[in-house]
Structures are given as C-alpha cells and as structure tokens.
Amino acid sequence: MSAKILDGNALAKAIRAGLARDAAAFQAAAGRPPGLSVILVGEDPASAVYVGHKEKAAREAGFASAVVRLPATASEAEVLDRIAAMAADRAVDGMLVQLPLPKQVDPLAVQRAIPPAKDVDGFHPVNAGMLLLGQKGGFVPCTPLGVMALLDEAEIPLKGAEAVVVGRSTIVGKPVAQLLLDRHATVTIAHSRTRDLAAVCRRADVLVAAAGVPGLVRGAFVKPGAAVIDVGINRITDAAQAEDLLAGQPERLEKFRKNGHALVGDVHFGEAAAAAGWITPVPGGVGPLTVALLLRNTLEGARRTEGLPA
C-alpha cells in the first residue's frame, strides 16, 4: 500500500476536544450550555446507532442534548408538532430529524419546518441556497464539511485541482461539489447515469465517493497519487462480496467470517490504496467527522443566538 491514511477518528477527536473547551467558554459567557436536540422517528437500527453517537458526543463535549423518540406510525402532523415545540425552545440551538423517515412523513416538509437558524444539518432550502450563493452565516451539511476537514488536515491542494464527486445527493454529493468549487477546484459530478465512470474518476486529483454502492470505485478508477475520500457506509453480509472487498485486510476478513457482516465504503480499499496518495478508511474516515462537525455547527448557532463572536 502506498497511500497515506486520512485518520478521521484522530481528527474528530481533536475537533471534539477543542469543542469541549469552546463549549465551556460559551457556558461561562452565556450562563447555559449549547443545546442539540434530535427527533428520531421509528426503530431503524442504523438511525438509532447514529442518534446514539450524536447524543454521546454532545454530552461528552459539555453540550445539553435531548432525543425525542416517536413511533414508526407517527403522522407527519405529529412530527411537525414536535419540530415546532423544539424550534420554540430557547435552550435548543441546533436541531435535526434523523433520516430516513417512515413513508407517511415527507422529508421535505420536515426540512422546511426546522428554522434555518437551528438547522445544523444544513438541509433547509435557505441554508442550501446560502451555500450555493456563497453567503456566510448559513449552516453547511456536516458530512461535506467532514470531507473538506480531512482534505485540509492533510493540506491537499485544491486550487485548480481536478475533483470528481461520485453521487449527486442533496445531503452529500451536491454540497461537497459546491465546497470544492468554492475552493477553486475544477469539479465534475458523476452519478448513476454517467458514461464510463472509471474514465471520469481517473481524471481526479481529488476523488470523493458518495454513491452508497459497496466497492464501486476500483483500483483502476484511481489516478496515481490522488486523494480518495470514501463517504460510503454500506453493511455487507454476502461472503463472496466480503472476500472481494476486504481482500488484503486479513483481520477484517476474519471478523467478517466470525460475525457475518462488515461495514465497507464505496471504494475498494485495498485496490485504491495501492494507487492513491491519500485515502480514508471505512469505518474511521469521514463518519466520525460528521458528528464532530454537527457539534461545531451547533456551537456556532448558539454563539449567533447569544450574540457572541464566532
């Protein structure tokens, strides 16, 4: 393997330690901690794990944190009522509704109901619009911020670089592409209808994979020396797929054989690491940064509410 590993766990830990100090300073100035509240609808196991991580990280950094749990049968009106109550609560600086939502609840209605000033996920049309317009003072989605934090930590040059983002979702692909564009990269967004994905990816000095397809990006997609950021988090249970995607990672393969499941990214790690200059692992790459930057957004919101400097 030639690539340097971009260690998301280490960077997230450092960010969270800084946030704990900043949260204490905020509390001293404002007389209250910054507050993050989450609404979880239903019993999706992955969502429950993500929400648990957010709650734990918030508490550890000295934030006030609350989770409102609603049954999978909750109506859209019930969810919107809870959002309105949270929005009116002065102790809540940042709030979010964990996705995905049950079918009867429209995620767009939910995103529009959260006041932009508390929308720490950055999904509200106002915040999305501010990102597009390059206006300061809005919230930028946390996973895209995590991608940028990893690139910046390794001082990977972006100005004039060829960047390819695989995936055009509103929560990852599009905002990442916008942030790379803001940093003067030449950005291509690839997606499920892209012709010859391998050739498009091979142009990239910076390759961001956010497709939700295990091992989509193979070694031949990677330009030698490129920075490869793998946003994908996919649970696999198929033995043949695990043998393929975990090749070269004997300990992880052994664990798969024991447990029958593994988390993998959208990048074939072993193959890509042989060509790349930098690469993120999954798990332990972008994932931990998402939570750390959610807290950073919340603290930023709290400071704005209290009129304290950023």
At residue 227, φ and ψ (nearest 5 deg) are: -90, 125
Active site residue 178: no
Contact code string over 138-157 relative to ligand NAD, x by CB under 6 A:
-----x--------------
Rounded to whole angstroms, how far apart are CA atoms 142 and 159?
22
- In terms of CB distance, is 206 or 216 closer to ligand NAD? 216
Minimum separation from the CB atom of position 168 to ligand NAD (A): 4
186 three-state secondary structure: strand
Specify the DSSP class assigned to residue 118: G
Q: Does position 47 bind ligand NAD by CB under 6 A? A: no
Minimum separation from the CB atom of position 67 to ligand NAD (A): 18
Strand partners, 96: 38
Task: Tell me which of 138, 167, 175, 281 binds ligand NAD, using CB under 6 A.
Answer: 167
Active site residue 152: no
Pairing status of strand 162-166 against strand 206-209: parallel
Minimum separation from the CB atom of position 84 to ligand NAD (A): 26
Rounded to whole angstroms, how far apart are CA atoms 149 and 289?
8
The answer to whether the beta carbons of residues 187 and 177 sit under 8 Å apart is: yes
**Tokens describing residue 44:** 């999706």
- In terms of CB distance, is 110 or 233 closer to ligand NAD? 233
**Tokens describing residue 4:** 């340097």
- In terms of CB distance, is 42 or 212 closer to ligand NAD? 212
Sign for the pseudo-dihedral over CA of 187, 174, 166, 300? positive
Active site residue 7: no
Q: What is the CA radius of gyration of the chain?
A: 20
Q: Does position 172 bind ligand NAD by CB under 6 A? A: yes
Rounded to whole angstroms, how far apart are CA atoms 43 and 71?
7
Catalytic residue among 22, 93, 119, 121: 121
In the window 189-248, what residues touch ligand NAD (CB under 6 A)?
A: 190-192, 194, 197, 210-213, 216, 231-234
Minimum separation from the CB atom of position 73 to ligand NAD (A): 25
Kindly provide the residue ranges of all beta strands, DSSP E only, lying in 20-142, ordered along the sequence: 35-41, 64-70, 94-97
Minimum separation from the CB atom of position 166 to ligand NAD (A): 5
Specify the DSSP class assigned to residue 227: E
In the window 276-305, what residues touch ligand NAD (CB under 6 A)?
A: 286-287, 290
Q: Does position 173 bind ligand NAD by CB under 6 A? A: yes
Q: Which residues contact 81 (CB under 8 A, 6 or more apart)?
A: none
Size of site (CB under 6 A) for ligand NAD: 25
Q: Report the catalytic residues.
A: 54, 98, 121
Residues of this chain that interact with ligand NAD (CB under 6 A) are: 143, 166-169, 171-173, 190-192, 194, 197, 210-213, 216, 231-234, 286-287, 290
